Structure 1
Amino acid sequence: MSKTTTGDLRVAVLGVGVMGADHVARLSSRISGAQVVVVNDYVTEKAEQIAAGIDGCRAVVDPLDAIADPDVDAVVLATPGPTHEKQLLACLEHDKSVLCEKPLTTDIETSLAVVKREAELGKRLIQVGFMRRFDHEYARLKALLDGGELGRPLVMHCAHRNPAVPTSFDSAMIVRDSLVHEVDVTRFLFDEEIVSIQIVKPAANPGAPHGLADPQIAIMRTASGKHVDVELFVTTGVAYEVRTEVVAEKGSAMIGLDVGLVRKTAPGIWGGQIAPGFRERFGQAYDTEFQRWVDAVRVGGTTQDYTDGPGAWDGYAAAAVCEAGVASLNSGLPVEVAMVDRASIDGA
Structure 2
Amino acid sequence: MSTATQENPHTARQGYDRDLRVAVLGVGMMGQDHARRLATLTKGAQLVAVSDVDAARTDAVAAEFGVRALHDPLAAIEDPDVDAVVVATPGFTHEDLVLRAIAAGRPTLCEKPLTTSPQTSRAVVEAERALGRRLVQVGFMRRFDAEYERLRALIASAELGRPLFLHCAHRNATTPPNFSSEMLILDSVVHEVDVARFLLGEEITAITVLTPGRTSHAPQGLQDPQFVLMETASGTLVDVEIFVNTTVGYEVRTELVAERGSAQIGLGVGLVRHSAAGWGGAVPGDFRQRFGAAYDTEFQRWVDAVRSGAGVDGPGVWDGYAAAAVCAAGVESLRTGRRVEVDLGERPDGLG
By the TM > 0.5 criterion, same fold? Answer: yes
Equivalent residue letter for 1:20? G
Distance of 1:312 and 1:331 partners within structure 2: 29
User: CA offset at residue 346 of structure 1?
Assistant: 4.2
Equivalent residue letter for 1:325? G
Deviation string, structure 1 residues 4-49 (Cα, Å, up to 9, x no partner): x992110010000010000000111111111111110000111111
**Cα pair 1:197 1:336 within 8 Å, conserved:** yes
Equivalent residue letter for 1:323? A
Structure 2 residue aligned with 1:282: 291
Structure 2 residue aligned with 1:48: 59
Structure 1 residue aligned with 2:19: 8
**Cα pair 2:227 2:242 within 8 Å, conserved:** yes
1:138-149 → structure 2 map (5 Å cutoff): 138-149=148-159
Residue 208 of structure 2 is aligned to residue 161 of structure 1? no
User: CA offset at residue 266 of structure 1?
Assistant: 2.2
Judge which range, 313-322 or 269-278, deviates more: 269-278
- 3-state DSSP class of the match of 1:315? helix
Distance of 2:93 and 2:18 partners within structure 1: 31
**Cα pair 2:205 2:233 within 8 Å, conserved:** yes
Q: Of 84, 98, 108, which residue of structure 2 is paired with 1:88?
A: 98
Equivalent residue letter for 2:227? I
Fraction of identical pairs, as percent: 59
Distance of 1:136 and 1:315 partners within structure 2: 21
**Cα pair 1:120 1:347 within 8 Å, conserved:** no
Deviation string, structure 1 residues 90-116 (Cα, Å, up to 9, x no partner): 111111100000000011111001001
Residue 340 of structure 2 is aligned to residue 335 of structure 1? yes
Deviation string, structure 1 residues 180-199 (Cα, Å, up to 9, x no partner): 00000000001110010011
Structure 1 residue aligned with 2:191: 181
Residue 214 of structure 2 is aligned to residue 214 of structure 1? no
Equivalent residue letter for 2:300? Q
- 3-state DSSP class of the match of 2:338? coil
Distance of 2:160 and 2:187 partners within structure 1: 31
Equivalent residue letter for 1:318? A
Q: Of 146, 153, 167, which residue of structure 2 is paired with 1:136?
A: 146
Structure 1 residue aligned with 2:308: 299
User: CA offset at residue 259 of structure 1?
Assistant: 0.2
Gap runs ≥5 in structure 1:
none
Distance of 1:223 and 1:75 partners within structure 2: 35
Equivalent residue letter for 1:327? E
Distance of 1:64 and 1:261 partners within structure 2: 46
User: CA offset at residue 270 of structure 1?
Assistant: 2.0
Query: Structure 1 stretches (4+) deviating beyond 3 angstroms?
Result: none
Distance of 1:140 and 1:338 partners within structure 2: 30
Distance of 1:23 and 1:261 partners within structure 2: 28
Distance of 2:81 and 2:134 partners within structure 1: 21
Deviation string, structure 1 residues 284-316 (Cα, Å, up to 9, x no partner): 00000000001111122222xx2xx00000000
- 3-state DSSP class of the match of 1:246? strand
- 3-state DSSP class of the match of 1:282? helix
Distance of 2:266 and 2:29 partners within structure 1: 24
Provide the aligned C-alpha RMSD in A: 1.4
Distance of 2:23 and 2:345 partners within structure 1: 33
Q: Of 34, 39, 45, which residue of structure 2 is paired with 1:28?
A: 39
Residue 123 of structure 2 is aligned to residue 113 of structure 1? yes
Structure 2 residue aligned with 1:38: 49
Number of aligned positions between the proteins: 338
Q: Of 309, 312, 316, which residue of structure 2 is paired with 1:311?
A: 316
Residue 176 of structure 2 is aligned to residue 171 of structure 1? no
Distance of 2:127 and 2:220 partners within structure 1: 42
Deviation string, structure 1 residues 318-342 (Cα, Å, up to 9, x no partner): 0000000000000111111132121
Equivalent residue letter for 1:10? R
Q: Of 238, 241, 247, which residue of structure 1 is paired with 2:248?
A: 238
TM-score by length of 2: 0.94
Distance of 1:86 and 1:341 partners within structure 2: 24
**Cα pair 2:17 2:307 within 8 Å, conserved:** no
Q: Of 258, 263, 267, which residue of structure 1 is paired with 2:273?
A: 263
Structure 1 residue aligned with 2:281: 272
**Cα pair 1:275 1:281 within 8 Å, conserved:** yes
- 3-state DSSP class of the match of 2:65? coil
User: CA offset at residue 62 of structure 1?
Assistant: 1.1
